[in-house]
Amino acid sequence: MAPPATDAATTKQEQQHAAGGEGVEVGGDLRLVAECGTVVRLSRSAARMSTTLFDMIEAGCAEGGIPIKGADVGTLRLVAAYCEKHAPHYDPVASAARLRDPFPPFPIEFTPASYAVKPVTQLDPDPHGLEAWDRKFISDLPDNSALFNLIIVANLMAIEDLVDLGCTAVADKMRGKTPDEIRVALDIENDYTPEQEAEVRRENAWAFED
Amino acid sequence: MRTRSGSRYSNGGEVAALVGQKRKKSASAVAGECACDGRRKRLAGGPDYLDALPDDLVLSILTKLAAASSAPSDLLSVHLTCKRLNELGGHDMVFAKASPASLAVKAAAWSEPAQRFLKRCADAGNLEACYILGMIRFYCLGSRSGGAALLARAAVGGHAAALYSLAVIQFNGSGGAKSDRDLRAGAALCARAAALGHVDALRELGHCLQDGYGVRRDPAEGRRLLVAANARELTLALSAAAASRHAVAALPFAAAGGVGGGGGGCPLLSDFGWSLPEAEPHAANQFMVDWWASRCAAQAGGKKPGGESSGDGAELRLCSHVRCGRRETRRHEFRRCSVCGAANYCSRACQALDWKRAHKAQCVPMDRWLLAGVAAVGGIGGGGEAQQQQQ
């Protein structure tokens, strides 16, 4: 029986004692196998951030290596680093996954009450230093291919927060630039014919008059 | 993007199969596509990162871009880059999340494509776009029912400014006759907007309560709401200043500069001699102000003889609070300052703001208005008997 992955630390030790060391995987680290066969370890608490891995743990099929098709080692290591960093402060209720797929599937509005009024002076917008770490994480990525691979692998593993982080980074690269600059920044090929381009330009000309 | 005939991964692998089952996406058709198109091998011809991303991820990227963009050009530059981004950028999901700043169409740039853009955003369910397009259609283009329908749509979605605009329309009976005024409906809409924290609506409701206009008269509650409006305005101004990282911009008035001077935005502070820089007017109001200004300039340039649809001295006046930008829809719709009779306001909130800002210095009592104006029009801020008759 796979234990619920909530108290990973204490459960790990209990299980290892109780099971008499029967399996390293029970309560141990998960092993993610990259495309080329290298294994990247990920602790259970960090794996909770990935909906896919969490479901696998719950279903009890997280023993042995978990192959991740299409992921190379560098990207997996980055993903693992992100998960390890964010795992202690991960709150499934507040995470992006809930925003993507909310229940009920319509917005519920309450009248703002007096306790909803927040103080004007910001106490500390980044209490655990996570946002600064995220910014550094993204800026440390060597090039666009690393960023896009990261998004793809995070999408595969269903880590919504990391997908959002990556998408926001790409969107930041697109914002405030002319179309030519965007093409240069993201290596996009211009497949318009001159007539089509002129037509699209005409359609959107009103936004560019300044 | 040129489509590459790269090889695809035929069997998805365990993780991907689980991904296909476990994730329930609303754009499920797109997700179905992405499972096939998703991971193509990059050929050695050159990097093609966006090609490797499935459509739903590109949509997420574009949605984030829309939500963070600060001008329409940010959002539309992407359309010019390549065909795939043009097509995906035109998806409803992206337009639905367009930020208010990216919908701020300038009056000088108004054209058919601009209107189409706003219409698409409004159809996609973007409340801010519904509001802006509704205001433009109602006041500038004269399409009363169409504009009001869009405003109603935004209001139903909970947009505070749309609720307030509808309240002003109800209070004045805009678009109809004077008998179409519905004070109670206006007060109800105002109350809803005030509950959402809209500053002008709080002020308006405060004055309505003080005068018993559309609601049961309750001066104490009205006074409380007026103070709440000031406090809310101050909160918004300070948090805006904090967010933009400026040094706290509250400046004490110079002693000589005194009471009527340069007029900061917040009445609460200005009572104590401090001022804050005035908040930016909403995009819709700015549009209307620019629109009327350009119409008047065109007319003053002698292009047309004074037509009845525009013209400031002639028939329909603008609200004298310059940042409001609303215009009357029939003669004598707006109410006059009861002291001087020269200033017209669409609502009490505009009158209260303008008093502090500019009108106090300019208001000169004219004797003849005290007799004729108050009885005829029911002036603001005076004539208690006239207002009691309206109850």
CA distance B155 to B165: 9
For the stretch B249-275, pLDDT in tens is: 455 544 333 344 444 567 777 777 777
Choose the closest CB to B61 out of A156, A171, A207: A171
The pLDDT value given to residue B234: 85
| Window B:223-242, CB contacts with A under 8 Å | 235, 238-239, 242
B300 closest CA partner among B312, B286, B288, B309: B312
- pLDDT of A93 > 60? The answer is yes
Phi, psi of B344 (to 5 degrees): -115, 140
The pLDDT value given to residue B49: 77
On whether the CB atoms of residues B116 and B89 are closer than 8 A, the answer is: no
- pLDDT of A205 > 70? The answer is yes
Nearest C-alpha in A relative to B21 = A52
Q: Is the ipTM of this complex over 0.95?
A: no
Nearest C-alpha in A relative to B87 = A200
- pLDDT of B185 > 90? The answer is yes
For the stretch B288-311, pLDDT in tens is: 999 999 988 888 775 444 444 444
Q: Which amino acid, B325?
A: G
Which of chain B's residues have a Cβ under 8 Å away from the Cβ of A171? Answer: 61-62, 64-65, 68
Tell me if A179 and B16 make a contact (CB, 8 A cut-off): no
Which residues 6+ apart lie within 8 Å of B128 measured at CB? B98, B99, B100, B103, B121, B154, B159
- The average confidence (pLDDT) of chain B is 77
Q: Higher pLDDT residue, B261 or B197?
A: B197
Tell me if B22 and A197 make a contact (CB, 8 A cut-off): no
CA distance B161 to B131: 8
Tell me if B49 and A163 make a contact (CB, 8 A cut-off): no
CA distance B282 to B263: 19
For the stretch B312-363, pLDDT in tens is: 445 788 998 888 889 998 888 898 888 888 899 999 889 888 888 888 888 8
- pLDDT of B188 > 90? The answer is yes
B371 pLDDT band, cuts 50/70/90, is low
DSSP code for B38: S
- pLDDT of B40 > 70? The answer is no
The partner residues of B347 in beta bridges, in order of sequence, read none
CA distance A86 to A134: 10
Tell me if A208 and B78 make a contact (CB, 8 A cut-off): no
B48 closest CA partner among A174, A187, A153, A184: A187
Q: Tell whether B275 is within 8 A of chain A (Cβ).
A: no
CA distance B171 to B174: 8
**E strand spans, chain B:** 251-252, 274-275, 335-336, 344-345
Cis before A112? omega within 30:
no
| Window A:158-187, CB contacts with B under 8 Å | 158, 163-164, 167-168, 170-172, 174-179, 182-183, 186-187
Which of chain A's residues have a Cβ under 8 Å away from the Cβ of B115? Answer: none
Which residues 6+ apart lie within 8 Å of B366 measured at CB? B340, B341, B342
A142 pLDDT band, cuts 50/70/90, is confident
